[in-house]
Every structure is written in structure tokens, then in C-alpha cells.
Structure 1
């Protein structure tokens, strides 16, 4: 006889609860399940997670809320609940006693696979989405490193969502009130407003040239109502018990008579020793105060920084640590971002200065303006709130560079908590690292850059987008060589797609081609049609914000084109055999269907080429991504020339 007893002293901490092994196949040969005793302490929540196993909780003692997906049930002693494979679940113990259970779990792969088949990726997408991108700083033009980060990737997601019948709006702007704009104005001998307007106009034009469709554009310096709206939100923040006026030591340049912060300060990070500006280190993502930098000096004149006392409004970020942890637990937060924020939370969040001694920005009186990053966060919340009021609630996905992690994953949520706007925070963060040119970061000051406008003029937006999505710095630094940047139209997918599409012209007459209806099917035809639908579902899975990957999407799209080209090559003999005329009709109908599928799947990546293919097939509007692909109507006329040859640039 084998026995086990519930023993709190024998428990270890896992899944954010106490667990103790019970019985498994290592104890009893052939036992088809595993089991553990578990206990969730009072007023805590277990880790939200999913797995391929089926699972059953048997409640021994206590009460708690068991959550499975969107369902919640309060369970008590003697009750049992079944949790299906891949269902995200957690235990929320809001009560004063521990919640003790037995968990029995087993693996049944057919059940797990059936759950996945019943829940295709697109069913998990919200009906309305807001896709936010950090507004670029208008102190210079955009290079390929900028575009490779959030901007083209976010547009890829927004286009894909729209092609699936979801409403998706792309929101970005220009970060006009950044200290980098004021610093650039000083160095150029002009005004910050002139820099923000001229450079901001150029940035917006570049984004649109790259095929980025912007639905809401925030331009604070040119918006007469911006300051009033932001001050209204700031008043709510200032009313928080965590906000108060304080006098603190501040870095200062006596030569320029400048309060040194952000772009005006330069030195080395006290945490990682990398070169850093004030308030944030791009290398390690950690916040600082300019006076904490080693070898701190004025960026304008090079004078070594001194300190002086300044009075300003400060916000105690650590006062909202518990709310921040809970928010990040529920939102999708990538591992690199979560690692940084959890480390900062464990160390204790610093206080953040909301007012800066500067003339540029939202005026707060007494020679101060709102901190540029606080302005940016409140602008985000103002835009999200306005979108909700005008168009209804939406799920927000925020694309951002890892170097901005602190501002978007800490400062933004805390300001939202303080202002009572937590409902307008991102539900998912999608991060990126840096794209390097060769072995070094793109650098405007050193001229180590390939300018986006030059690349777009030389290769066209499709080739630029494809190259940047293929090399997207997702989860790691990626690199593009100067030679590769000069040969963007040589991308293997770019060339293969054009070669395959040009092949349609070879089989068409002078007036184009007529799409046949299907006839007799072979096993090859059946499996190719199955492939078109399965490939679409696989690519759909890469478009969930939680699993978004531009790099993987491009790789699979390239494989799709290769598969279509192989299908054509293998079917040539069949199409030339008179006795197989009925099978030949199906073969051709399937290939034209593949062109339709390609147009929809390629639309997020190469919208110019995709649109031309769609129109060449006689289809109206923009490409539509069907869940189950329907054939082109028999008799559809595809006018010459073939789509890839219709324009010099894809």
C-alpha cells in the first residue's frame, strides 16, 4: 500500500503557490496521471498559465475563485473542477484561509490537438484594436534602424488585422516636446518649435512613403488644445498622495545656465558603465537622474556638471508597485521587458520628476515645463481615451523599443493609475531591440546610417519593408550590412515572388488569362488546397500580439512562394496531357487561388505588390484574408500584364 499525506512543511514554491508531490508513474508503474497537493495562501493569486495536460482540482479546504479563460467559479471543500488543455487558468484566493487542493493531471494528445483545432488563431483576435507606436523624436530624419523597430512591424499587424475583417487603427505621432528637440535647436541656432515642425513633417512623410498608414497622428507642438488636455490629466496625477513638491539636488551647467536632464546631460551609466544621457540608459534600460551619471557633463558646451537645488513635482512610483505588478501579470509582457521591470520592482522604483526647469514643453509656470516623458505618457493616455470615446473600446497593442521599456512599462502605467485611466493601458507589449549597420548601432551624429528616404527612393517601399521585416530585431540585436542595404531588391522572397508571378504571363494570351472552374481532383490537388488553408492558419498565429514575429512571418511567406512554384513545376506535365483536361482545370484554378492567397498573406509585408496582384485577379478593394479559401469565379479574366511586371518597384 502506498500512501501520501498533505504536509505543509514538505511543500515547495512553484506556480506562485505551495506544491507537494503526491502520486505519479515514478511511484506506481503504469499510473496514467500525475498528482500534487497544492495550497494557495490567503489573499494571493497563483500564476496564470496553460499546458497541454488536462487537469482536475479537488478542493480539500478553503474557498477561492478558479479562473479558466473568461470563466470564474468560487469553489469550496468537496467540489471538483476540470481544466481543459491549453486553457489559461489561475486561482485567486481573496479569502482569509489557505485554499488547499489536490491537482490530478494527465496528457492526452488527441484532446490537446482538438482544442487547438477548435480555436484557430484569428478567433483570439479582438474585434477592435489600437496599434500604438512610440512617436519618433523630431530632431532629425529616420534611418533604416528607426523603421526596423516598431514602425513597419506595427503597420504589418494593423494591415493584417484589417484584412481579417477586424477594425484596427494605427496611432503614432511626433514627440515634439522632447529635450532632444530643444537641444537640437540650441545646437542649430534656431527654435524648438521650428525644429519640431520641420523634422516632424519630414518624419511623417517618410513613414507614409514606407506604406505606414497612420489613423491618428499626435503632433503636440501644432495642437492648440494639447497643453490644456495634458494639464488636466496632470492635475489628476498631482492630486495623488504619491505626488508632492520637493527640493532635490539637480545636475546643472553653470556655463550655459542650464538645468541638465535627458538630452542636455551626458556621462556614463552608474549601473552598466555604458555611455548614457540623463534619465535613461539605452544599453541596460534602467532609469537614472542626470546627477547620478559618472563624468556627467553638459552636452551643449562640454562643461562638467555641478549640482544645485531645484524644486519640482515628484511622483513616488514605488507607491504603485503592487498595482504595477498586477497589471503586468495580466497584460502580455515579453520576457526581456518583464525581466527589467521585475528587477526594478524588486530593487524599489525611484521617484520621478514631473516638472523640468526648461522653456520647452507644456508650461507649468515658475520657469518649469512638464517632463517630456511624462508628456509622452499622458499624450498616449489622452489619445487612447479619445479613441475609446469616439470609436468604442479597443484592445491596445503597444510596439516599442527595449530602450524605452522604463517609460512605457513603468512610468506610463503609474501615471495611468494616478490619473484614473488604467482602462486605457496596453493589453500587450511588443518589443524590439536594435538593428545595427554592420557591427555598430545606426548613428546620425557619426553619419553611420542608411537614410530611409534614400532607401525608399532607390528600392521602393515593398523591398525596404521586406528587408526590415526579415531582419527585425525581435528579442535580439540584428544586423544589416551596407552592401545588403544597397541591394534590397535582391531579397530571395522578393525575387522568388516576382519570378512566380511573372510565370502567369507566360501561360496567358495577349489579352490576359481566363480562370477556369475546377474539374477533377487528384491527391496532389487535395493536399495543395489543404496546404493553402493550413499555411494561412500558421501565419495567422504569428499575428497575435502575444506571439507576433515579423521574421518568422517572412520566412513562412517565402516557404509559401516556394511551395507554389513547386506546385506549378510539378503540374506542367499534367496540364499538357489531353486526357487529363479535367484535372488540368483544377490545377490552374488552384494556382490562381494561390495567387489570391498570396496577395492577402503578402499584404501586410509588401502592400504594393499585393494590391497589384489583387487587382490583376479582378478582386475589389484591398486584399481580404479568408479563414477558408474560396476559388475565383469561373471565367474571371485576369488582364495582362502579370502583376509583378506592372511596376518597376514592388
Structure 2
């Protein structure tokens, strides 16, 4: 006889609750389940999680709310609840006593597979979403590293959602008040406003040239109300007890009479020893004070920095530490960003305060002293919150998704939420974060400020933008840094997907010559045809899965499209012998109908990556509007007669 006794002294901390082993197959060979005692402390919520196991909770004592997906049930002593595989769940104990239970769990592969079938990726994508990208800094043009990071990837996401009939809007702009704009002005003997206007206009043209069509552009220097808006947000911030005035030693260049922060400072990160500008290290994503950099110097004249006392307003970030930790449990974010944020939140001493005003002459004036300007990142955060507020007012509520570089993780996942909490605007924060790392150019990071780049407008001028988009999405630095040789980057208009898709589509000319111009209705089906039809659906579901924010992968999306085109080409080749057999006329009709169905599906699935080619295929098939991504693909009506003009001809080819 094996017995176990509930013993709080024997419990360990896991899943943010206390657990103690009960009985398992290690205790009783062949036992088809495992079990544990559990206890959720008073005023505590267990970790929100899911697993492939089936599970039953038997309540021993206490009262708590068990959350399963969107359902909530209050359970008490003597009650039980079944939890299905892959359903996110947690226990919220709002009482003053522990909530004690026994958990019995078992592995059931069949139930897990059924649960996945009942939870298609498409059902988890937002119905209404605003997709934000950090406004590029207009201190130079956009290079291919920028496009491969958030901008084209976010456009892929927006187009995919729109093709499903979802409401999706794209928001970005230019970060006119960044310190990098001011340093670019000083280094080229131009005014910062001149730099921001000229380079910002070029950035917008390049985005549009890459097929990234924005729904809202935030350009502070072109907005006559920007300073007033920033002042209004800053006044809301001043009401927070977390904002105080402090006098601190600050890095300073006596030669330039310049307060050194962000782009004005250059040194070595004290944490990872990488070269770093002030306030953030791009290599390890850790914040810093410019004065704490090793060998810090002035970016303008390269003189070693001294320090001087400066008085400014500061935000106590640790005041919001618990709220930020609670927020981490509610939002979707990439694993690398979660690691960065949790590391910052758990750092010894907590989050360091953040300086809200800077001594200088560039940026928004938010008080009576024109020598004190709003910190550029605070300016950017308020611009984000204002854009979300304006979008909500105009178009109604929606989820906010943010595509960003991991090096900006501190600003967007710590500082932005803290500022929103302090200003009472938490409802405007991102619910989803999708990150990227750096795309390297021949082993070194693309960099506008250092001139190490292949410029996007030049690459787009050399080749079809569809091919450039596909090439950059294929190399997207997701979860890791990726590298492009300068030769590949300079020939980014040559991509395998673009080439293969055009070759496959070109083959429809032969199909029409041999079998007529009209799309037939289906007839009899072969096993091979049935499986190809099944694969059109399964490949669509796989592509949908790469769009989920926590699993987002532009690289994966492009590679699945590679497979789609390869499979469609193989289907045609293997079906040709059948189409030559007189007795297989009914099967031939099905074969041809499936070919045209594949073209229809390709148009919708490829539109997020190859918008020009996909739209031409869609139009060629006689379909109206933009491509529509169906969850179950419907055949083209029998008798459809695709246009005579080839869907392969691009605008440049037509003009030629």
C-alpha cells in the first residue's frame, strides 16, 4: 500500500504555486496518470499556462477562480474541474486562505490532436488590430536592414489579416526629435529640422516604394499641434507621484558646451563591453546613463567627457515594477523580448529611474524653460499613445500590435508602459510585441549613422519590389542575427520564390494551349487529386500559424510559399500523363480545376509577400478587389475564362 500525505513543508515552488508529488508511474509501474498536491497562496494567481495533457483539479480546501481560456468558474472544497489540452489556464485565489487541490493529469495524444484541430491558428488572430512600427529616425535613408526588420514584416502581417477580412491598420512615421537627428545636423552643418524633413520625406517614399502603405503617419515637425499635444500628455504625467525633480551628474562636453546623452555620447557598455551610445546598448539591450559608459566621449568632437550637475524631471520606473510584471502575464510577446524584460525587472536594485527632460535645444518644449526639452524617447512614447488614442476615437477599439527591433525592447516594453501607467493610458498599450534582431551586412550591422548599408531605394530601383520583399523576408533576423553579403544584398531583386512562382505561372500558357482557355468544373477524383486538395488546405493552415504574434515568422512564411509553389508545379507535371488519356476526361476536368484553384490560393497566400504578382494573378482569374484568403478554398466557377494577358507582366515590363 502506497500512501501520500499533504505536507506544506514538502512543497516546492513551481507554476507560481506550491506543489508536492503525489503518485505517478514512478511510484506505481503502469499507472496511466500523474498527480500532485497543489496550493495557491492567499491573494495569489498561479502561472497562466497550457500543456498537451488532460487534467482534473479536485479541490481539497479553500475557494478560488479557475480560468480556462475565456471561461471563469469559482471552485470550492469538494468540487472538481476538467481542463482540456492546450487551453491556457490559471488559478486566481482572491481569498485570505490557501487554495488546496489535487491535480491528476494524463497524456492523451488523440485528445491533444483533436484540441489542436479545434483551435485553428486563424481563430486566434485578432479581428481588429492596429499594427505599429517604430518611426524610423530621419538622420538618413532606409537601408535593407530596416526593411528586413519591422517594416516589411509588419506589412506582411497587415496584408494577411486584410485578406482574411480582418480590420488592420498600419501606423508608423518619422522620429523627428531623436538626438540622432540633432547630431546629424551638427555633423553636416545643417539644422536638425532640415535633416528631419529631407530624410523623412525620403523614408516615406522608400516605404511606399517597397509596397508598405501606411494608414497613419506620425511626423512631429509636420504637425502644428505636436508641441501642444506633448505638453498635454506631459501634464498628465506630472500628476503621478512617480515623477520628481532631481539633480544628477551628467556627461558633458565642455568643448561643445553640450549635455551628452543618447546619440551625443559614445563609449563602451559597462555590462557587455560592446560599443554603445548613451542610454541604451544595442548589443545587450540594457539601459545605461551616458556618464556610466566606459571611455565616454563626445560624438561631435570626440573629446573625452566630463560631468556636470543638471536638474531635470525623472520617472521612478520601479514604482511600476509590480504592474509591469503583472502586464507581462497578459500580453503576447516574442521569447527574446520576454527574456530582456524579465532580466531588467529582476535586476538587483530594480529598474533605474529614467530622465524625462534633457538640457538642449532640440525637441519638444514642455515647460517654461526652453533649455529643457522632452526626452526623445518620452516624446516618441507620447506620440505612440496619442496615435492610438486618435485611432480609437476615429475607428473604434482595436488591439495594438507592435513590430520592433529587440534593441528597442527597453523603450517599448518597459519605458512606454511605465509612462502610460503614469499618465493613466494603459488601454493604449500594445497587446502584442513581435521582435527582430539585426540583419548584418557582410558580418557587420547595417548602420545609417556609420554609413555601412545597402540603401533600400537603390535596391528597389534595380529590381522588382516583389523580389526584393521576398529576399528580405527570407533573410529576416527573427530570434537571431542573420547576415547578407554585400553581393547578395545588392542583388536582392533575385529571389528563389519570385523566380519559381513566375516559372509555374508561365506554365499556364501551355495548360491553356493544350486544354482550352476555360476553367472546367470538377469531375471524377483520383487519390492524388484528393490529397493535393487536402494539401492546399493544410498549407494554408500552416501559413496561418506563422502569423500568430508569439510564433510570427516571415522566414517561415516565405519558405512555406516555396513549398506551395513546388507542390503546385509537381502536381502539374504528374497530372500531365493523365490528361492525355481519353478515358480519363472526368478526372482531367478535376485536375485542371485544381490547377486554377491553386492559382487562386497562391494569389491570396502570396499577396502579403509578393503583392504585385499576386494581384496580377487575382485579376487574371477575373476576381475583383484584392485577394481573399479563404479558410476552405472554393473552386472558380465552371466556365471562367482567365484574361488573355499574362499575369506575369509587371509594370516595368508593360512600360518597356
Same fold? TM cut 0.5? yes
Count of matched residue positions in the alignment of Structure 1 and Structure 2: 650
Please list, as runs of the form range in 1=range in 2, the aligned pairs for 1:158-173 lying within 5 A after superposition.
158-173=158-173
Q: Distance in 1 between matches of 2:510 and 2:294?
A: 67
Change over 3 Å in CA distance of 1:614–1:57 after alignment to 2: same
Please list, as runs of the form range in 1=range in 2, the aligned pairs for 1:339-418 lying within 5 A after superposition.
339-347=339-347, 348-364=350-366, 365-366=368-369, 367-418=371-422
Please list, as runs of the form range in 1=range in 2, the aligned pairs for 1:370-519 lying within 5 A after superposition.
370-509=374-513, 513-519=517-523
Q: Distance in 2 between matches of 1:510 and 1:303?
A: 76
Change over 3 Å in CA distance of 1:187–1:486 after alignment to 2: closer
Q: Distance in 2 between matches of 1:558 and 1:121?
A: 20
Equivalent in the alignment of 1:335: 335
Q: Distance in 2 between matches of 1:321 and 1:649?
A: 57
Q: Distance in 1 between matches of 2:80 and 2:578?
A: 60
Q: Distance in 1 between matches of 2:520 and 2:491?
A: 38
Report how far residue 488 of structure 1 moved: 2.7
Equivalent in the alignment of 2:555: 551
Q: Are positions 1:636 and 2:640 aligned together?
A: yes
Report how far residue 628 of structure 1 moved: 0.4
Please list, as runs of the form range in 1=range in 2, the aligned pairs for 1:191-340 lying within 5 A after superposition.
191-340=191-340
Q: Distance in 2 between matches of 1:447 and 1:605?
A: 28
Task: Show CA shifts across 1:449-497 (max 9, x none).
Answer: 1110011011121111101110100000001112212333432212111
Report how far residue 579 of structure 1 moved: 1.4
Q: Distance in 2 between matches of 1:571 and 1:333?
A: 44
Report how far residue 448 of structure 1 moved: 2.5
Q: Distance in 2 between matches of 1:619 and 1:512?
A: 19
Equivalent in the alignment of 2:590: 586
Q: Distance in 1 between matches of 2:338 and 2:432?
A: 12
Decide whether the 8 Å contact of 1:255 with 1:303 is kept in 2.
yes
Select between 609-618 and 296-305 the one with higher mean Cα deviation.
296-305
Task: Show CA shifts across 1:299-320 (max 9, x none).
Answer: 1111111111111110000000
Change over 3 Å in CA distance of 1:648–1:588 after alignment to 2: farther
Q: Distance in 1 between matches of 2:387 and 2:397?
A: 12
Decide whether the 8 Å contact of 1:511 with 1:640 is kept in 2.
no
Report how far residue 649 of structure 1 moved: 7.0
Change over 3 Å in CA distance of 1:620–1:512 after alignment to 2: farther
Decide whether the 8 Å contact of 2:341 with 2:414 is kept in 1.
yes
Decide whether the 8 Å contact of 1:156 with 1:605 is kept in 2.
yes
Report how far residue 390 of structure 1 moved: 1.3
Report how far residue 646 of structure 1 moved: 4.7
Decide whether the 8 Å contact of 1:11 with 1:19 is kept in 2.
yes
Equivalent in the alignment of 1:106: 106
Task: Show CA shifts across 1:236-269 (max 9, x none).
Answer: 1111111011111111111111111111111111
Q: Distance in 1 between matches of 2:60 and 2:118?
A: 33
Task: Show CA shifts across 1:392-447 (max 9, x none).
Answer: 11111111101101100100000010011111111111010000011111133554
Alpha-carbon RMSD: 1.5
Change over 3 Å in CA distance of 1:211–1:248 after alignment to 2: same
Equivalent in the alignment of 1:94: 94
Q: Name structure 1 gaps, 5 residues minimum.
A: none
Q: Distance in 1 between matches of 2:514 and 2:358?
A: 69
Task: Show CA shifts across 1:594-617 (max 9, x none).
Answer: 000001000001101100110011
Q: Distance in 2 between matches of 1:649 and 1:382?
A: 43
Report how far residue 559 of structure 1 moved: 0.5
Q: Distance in 1 between matches of 2:485 and 2:419?
A: 40
Q: Distance in 1 between matches of 2:356 and 2:53?
A: 49
Equivalent in the alignment of 2:574: 570
Q: Distance in 2 between matches of 1:639 and 1:646?
A: 15
Q: Name structure 2 gaps, 5 residues minimum.
A: none
TM-score when normalising by structure 1: 0.98
Q: Distance in 1 between matches of 2:491 and 2:299?
A: 37
Decide whether the 8 Å contact of 2:139 with 2:448 is kept in 1.
no
Q: Distance in 1 between matches of 2:494 and 2:436?
A: 25
Q: Distance in 1 between matches of 2:170 and 2:551?
A: 19
Report how far residue 508 of structure 1 moved: 2.3
Task: Show CA shifts across 1:184-241 (max 9, x none).
Answer: 1111111111111111010000001000010111001110111111211111111111
Q: Are positions 1:153 and 2:157 aligned together?
A: no
Equivalent in the alignment of 2:177: 177
Decide whether the 8 Å contact of 1:285 with 1:405 is kept in 2.
yes
Report how far residue 8 of structure 1 moved: 1.1
Structure 1 residue matching 2:385: 3-state secondary structure: helix
Report how far residue 513 of structure 1 moved: 2.1
